[in-house]
Chain A
Amino acid sequence: MYLRLYLYFMQFHAASLGSAIPKNNFDATIQSLFDSSLNLRLEHEDRLITILISDHYDLPQGIRLDEKIPLHSLTVGLRAASRGGILRFDSSPLTIDLRGAPIWEGKIPSLILPSEQAWSITWRVLNEQQRLKNTELIADDLFQSRSLHPPFGQRAGQAEQGSLLARRLRQPILQLIAAAEQLDSRSAKDAAQNMIGLGPGVTPSGDDVLIGFLAGLHSTAGNEKERPAFIQTFGESLLLLSEETNEISRTYLYHAIHGQFSSSIIALLDAIHNGDEPRLALVSKETMRVGHSSGMDSVTGLLIGLCVWNKENSYA
């Protein structure tokens, strides 16, 4: 008997599953592949789910593995299918057992009122990190003042500062803030239209700012009917606008619209809320480390979003 073998069976276990991972069987195709993650395009839904290797970073659409798996053995376009909780890839011995993995919710706690000190520390760290990494968007360039409530709109008449990207984002961001303050979803949509898909990176800066901004809004909306209603209406428009950006970014926007965010955004919100200074510096830097500038761009949006509906609060 002559049997020559080359394949090994490789089975891995998911460490956690984001709440948006389908609970039942699903089919998908590998949409993109990175060093420590890959995106799967679901066959019957217009969204992606992500397999990521990390010991702590969760996503609402994520299947997290805390051990290195040979992603290089897979290719874009390969089909995958989950049956009975086992995710398999065509023509690959790699399987991921999803059964028994804890579900990670990805929801932010509502009504987080940041302390002025915590907000200021985070804003300072953000700008330091952006300058250190020489990113195209530096939060200070969007506003003159570093006060807790950036004096939105006070830049009029000042000399234009910052990169071309910062200059392109400044006006829509100011419009977005004003629109949210006035609960004007139509104006917010117009502003977002000029931000969507704008900037470098696989999730463009404009999208990241919008995602962070939504996190800020969701966490400060509270129970007043008008604010959640604004988020919903704005979210619906944003969902349509998201067709103008790429699939990966669109997926993050989709979840942000539904109030679901990455574990790093949630941890940062928690640290800002609790005002624990040493932890805040640590958590904010970790959140900002995501991607080249994505983390910093979303923190920019988050800090702005936290201020919009908070002016009447006592921390001023």
Chain B
Amino acid sequence: MATAQRMIKNLYRDSVSLMQFSEKLRALEGVKQASAVMATENNISLLVEAGLLASAVPPSPNDLMIVVEGKDDSSTGAALDQAEGMLKAKSTETDEGGVRRVPPRSIEMGLESMSSANFVLISTPGEYAAAEARKALQLGLHVMMFSDNVSIEEEIPLKQYAREHDLLMMGPDCGTAIINGIPLGFANLVRRGDIGVVAASGTGLQQVTCLIDRFGGGITQAIGTGGHDLKSEVGGITMLQSIAALTADPQTKVILLVSKPPSPDVMKKVLEKAGQSGKPVVVIFIGADPASVTHGKIIGVKTLEDAAVAAVNFSKGKALKKFSNSMPAKYSAVEKSSARKLKKTQKYVRALFSGGTFCYENLLLMSEALGPVYSNIPLKKEHKLKDVWKSQEHTAIDLGDDLFTQGRPHPMIDFRLRNERIIQEAKDPSTAVILLDVVLGYGSNMDPAGELVPAILEALKVAAKAKRNLFFVGFVCGTDSDPQNLTRQQDMLREAGVILTESNAQAARLAAAIVSGR
């Protein structure tokens, strides 16, 4: 009889696998006994006592030791080779062709296995993201940087390098994009078409692309720039490159730009570039006067919904109508009947948002109709909520603000905070309307209506007990193709009593009309 052993460095298998492995070893031809244990001093001594090791070997507690006893050296050697092969096979995946495939650990390894790839998504902690992006750009790859907490000082040279090498650097903090029909980050499954979108706002991009889909249009690309891109220091590098790329793209017939108002110097450059495209360009600089950007083929609009309507009209070759600043007529009946049912004390709208851009657009539209609206992200300093946890007159809150997400997941994923706030608002006798956004798509909660409905029903109960009628107004940002099932989500919300509108702008105007029409 002969014995032999082999150490496998830093290899851990769970106890059940090791037991099964030892049994398989014992079943190998020519093997009488076998064992696979961690190479600790006590185990080595046990193996010596069991006759499986001729003499003690130096311990190595983090390594796996395989020992076999067989009829001769060749059978023990063959058994150990097979054993090692079996163990290593478990640590890799096998393609159908039998080639071992190790999951890539670096961008370079990724490129080895997908040599035609030309794009990388970076989602590492902020402090590593810039280095990874630099590496990717130097390898000739376009970059989408989902990571945040990357300083503007790091962002600028990356974007400059990308521009010099004809590459696109999306982000940092680029949470949403749809490239070649594939949603990335928080994004929706939107029909393909001929509208190219460039946005510095995540939920802004989601709203316009979903509405384009709903109005029968489709997109070529939806490119995120990251929130800093249109600042003076960065100079709109990514937005300018994206406009150029969409200009050169024969599939793109209409360009749509979304952002908060850029710094004046950057706005000038962006509008110049857009004008040079020769294509119709719809511009929504949320909060800026549409007339200030309208020129030639560039059309400025006021709301995200108007932006989608304009882009689809251009795409379909339809004439542009004048956009209305008021609530669509189809809601007037519901507005009147709701307003009549309010008590005298019920004066205010309480808008609870998961999307920051939705909150910002709502503030603009509601304050236009109702006067001051208080918020954690107010339009004017004097309308900042004294206590963000307590509403004040008309209030619109961005629950995705850092104030609310510390120690909690984003409100598009975790509804606990918003649900608590819904009940809190329902208890307030001055609340007339609670306004909600519901965002579908990849990255969001898989059943947002299922999360919200119990809180809505509870809130209605609270109000009914106090002999008040409370109204919920909302909208769903999503498409029929999103994984959450848009129709089912809308049906659940309607059944719970939510008055659903097509868009954020319509919801803001309807809510404002209900409280002002009473």
Q: List residues of chain A with CB under 8 Å of any chain B CB.
A: 1-9, 11, 13, 25, 31-35, 39, 72-78, 81-86, 88, 90-91, 93, 95, 97, 99-100, 164-165, 168, 194-204, 206, 243-249, 291-294
Contact = CB atoms under 8 A, between A and B. Distances in A.
Interface in B9-58: 10, 12-16, 18-19, 22, 35, 37-38, 40-43, 46, 49-50
Contacts of A81: 124-125, 127-128
Contacts of B221: 1, 3
Contact of B12 (A11, A34, A91, A95): A34
B245 interface: yes
A246 B146 CA distance: 37
Interface string B434-468: 00000000110000000000000000000000000
A214 B474 CA distance: 57
Given A1-B248, A100-B414, A197-B41, 14 more contacts: A1-B246, A6-B119, A11-B413, A13-B409, A75-B105, A81-B127, A88-B124, A90-B124, A91-B106, A97-B409, A168-B42, A196-B42, A201-B38, A294-B15
Interface residues of B, number: 70
| Secondary structure call for the A interface | loop
Contacts of A31: 12
Interface stretch (B109-117, B256-264, B367-375, B501-509): B109-117
Interface stretch (B180-188, B288-296, B323-331): B180-188
Contact of B121 (A1, A7, A168): A7
B56 to A, nearest CB: 14
A197 B443 CA distance: 44
Contacts of B91: 33, 76
B15 A246 contact: no
A73 B37 CA distance: 27
Given A81-B125, A99-B407, A292-B19, A34 B43 contact: no
B73 interface: no
5 pairs of A and B residues whose beta carbons are closest in the complex: A197-B40, A32-B12, A201-B15, A198-B42, A291-B15
Contacts of A90: 105-106, 124, 128, 132
Contacts of A32: 12
B118 A2 contact: yes
A74 B42 CA distance: 32
B13 A7 contact: no
Contact of A9 (B93, B119, B123, B248): B123
Most buried by B among A3, A86, A194, A202: A3
Nearest to A294: B15
Contact of A204 (B13, B43, B104, B107): B43
B146 A100 contact: no
Contacts of A11: 413, 443
Contacts of A245: 38, 40, 61
Given A291-B15, A293-B15, A198 B128 contact: no
A7 B37 CA distance: 38
A5 B405 contact: no
B59 interface: yes
A85 B43 CA distance: 40
B409 A100 contact: yes
Interface of B: 10, 12-16, 18-19, 22, 35, 37-38, 40-43, 46, 49-50, 59, 61-62, 91, 93, 102-107, 109-110, 114, 116-121, 123-128, 132, 142, 146, 149, 168, 179-180, 182, 184-185, 220-221, 245-246, 248-249, 405-409, 413-414, 442-443
A74 B44 CA distance: 32
Contacts of B22: 200
Contact of B16 (A168, A204, A291): A291
A9 B42 contact: no
A95 B121 CA distance: 13
Given A91-B105, A199-B37, A246-B40, A165 B182 contact: no
A240 to B, nearest CB: 14
A73 B41 contact: no
A202 B41 contact: no
A198 B43 CA distance: 5
Contacts of B168: 3
A99 B408 contact: yes
Nearest to A295: B15
B43 A199 contact: yes
7 contacts: A3-B221, A75-B102, A90-B128, A91-B110, A93-B121, A164-B50, A248-B12
Nearest to A196: B42
B179 A5 contact: yes
B38 A246 contact: yes
Nearest to A13: B409
Given A1-B249, A244-B40, A292 B46 contact: no
A312 B145 CA distance: 66
A244 B59 contact: yes
Contacts of B249: 1
Nearest to B249: A1
